[in-house]
Amino acid sequence: MNIFFRELKANRKALIIWSICIFLYVLAGMSKYTAYSSGANSDVFSKMPSTMRALLGIGTFDVTKISGFFAFLFPYVAIITAIHAALIGSGIIAKEERDKTTEFLMVKPVSRTIVITSKLLAALFNIVVVNIVTLISSIAFAEVYNKGKSINHEIIMFLLSMFIMQLIFMSIGAFLAAYMKNAKSSGSMAAIIVIVSYVISKITDVTNKLNGLNILSPFKYFDYQGIVNGDNLNFLIALLSLLIVLVFSASTYYFYLRRDLRV
């Protein structure tokens, strides 16, 4: 447990900064809803080519309604939290080699299994906090600007899908840090994977001919239009997503236990 609390302390400032940033982003995003809800831009959106609507993230959402507007805002929130998850996953595994503090772990009377478990639990704690901050701020600001039916259920479903995405990218980041010879480069590689995944989601939004690529993008694992319509998450997709997390997490253990840690 000492390693767990040490990692929490080491990432405390970064967690606070990320939480404040996501809070301010949700605030700034939701504050723009009044301009959309007035319907002043409805003609502009209706005349906009479907390709442009897809690239902007509007798609088929009715952004004059709070649920549609939140669905439009959500992907931008999701990519921020996904980058954070990927960086915390890779950073918390690679930090000893990066900061030249490997000896600290080597002299501890604990196994590498306990070390990696403590680190992954600390990373999980960080993404849970970011997710909770996003959830609370989203519900709070939606209530402020919403003049109709509550969308708390939709927000919870969106944030649950985001949490699964966070787990996926966190586990990918951790895997990269354990697998790559130069662990310090795992953070940038993890961030690139997140960005490429997001770009793929935009490409498949524009054309249906490349929908097969969606398997490479966690941003496309869940049906956002279905969530707006009041549906729950697809249980099978959620289960398969968690299986991906387990595979990458198990791989992290495998490679980290066999890794030649650099002092």
- Side-chain half-sphere of 247: how many Cα atoms within 13 Å? 8
CB 87 within 8 A of CB 187: yes
Q: pLDDT above 90 covers what percent of the chain?
A: 51
Which element (helix H / strand E) includes 7? helix 2-10
* 105-140 pLDDT per residue, tens: 666 667 888 888 999 999 999 999 999 999 999 999
Torsion of CA 9, 12, 14, 15, to 10 degrees: 130
CB 134 within 8 A of CB 191: no
Inform me whether the pLDDT recorded for 46 exceeds 60. Answer: no
CA-nearest of 236, 214, 220, 223 to 154 is 223
pLDDT of 149? 86
pLDDT of 55? 61
pLDDT of 19? 96
pLDDT of 41? 56
pTM of the model as a whole: 0.90
As a whole number, mean pLDDT of residues 91-113 equals: 71
DSSP SS3 for 254:
helix
Q: Which residues of 191-219 are buried (b: 16+ CB within 10 A; e: fewer)?
A: bebbeebbebbbbbbeeeeeeeebeebbb
End-to-end CA distance of the chain: 23
User: How many degrees, rounded to 5, is the angle at CA 29 between CA 27 and CA 33?
Assistant: 105
Lookup: tokens for 75:
């992907």
* 188-228 pLDDT per residue, tens: 999 999 999 999 988 887 777 778 888 989 999 998 888 98
pLDDT band at 3 (very low <50, low <70, confident <90, very high): confident
* 49-89 pLDDT per residue, tens: 566 656 666 666 777 788 888 988 999 999 999 999 999 99
Torsion of CA 189, 190, 192, 196, to 10 degrees: 130
CB 166 within 8 A of CB 124: no
pLDDT of 31? 87
Phi (first) and psi of residue 49, to 5 degrees: -55, 145
What is the distance between the alpha carbons of residues 25 and 6, in angstroms, rounded to a whole number? 29
Instruction: Provide the 10 A C-beta neighbour count for residue 109.
Output: 5
What is the distance between the alpha carbons of residues 104 and 66, in angstroms, rounded to a whole number? 51
Distance of CA 111 to the CA centre of its chain: 30
3-state helix, strand, coil in the chain (%, to 5): 80, 0, 20
pLDDT of 112? 81
User: How many degrees, rounded to 5, is the angle at CA 162 between CA 156 and CA 167?
Assistant: 130
pLDDT of 205? 79
Lookup: tokens for 53:
């609507």
Mean pLDDT (the chain, rounded) = 86
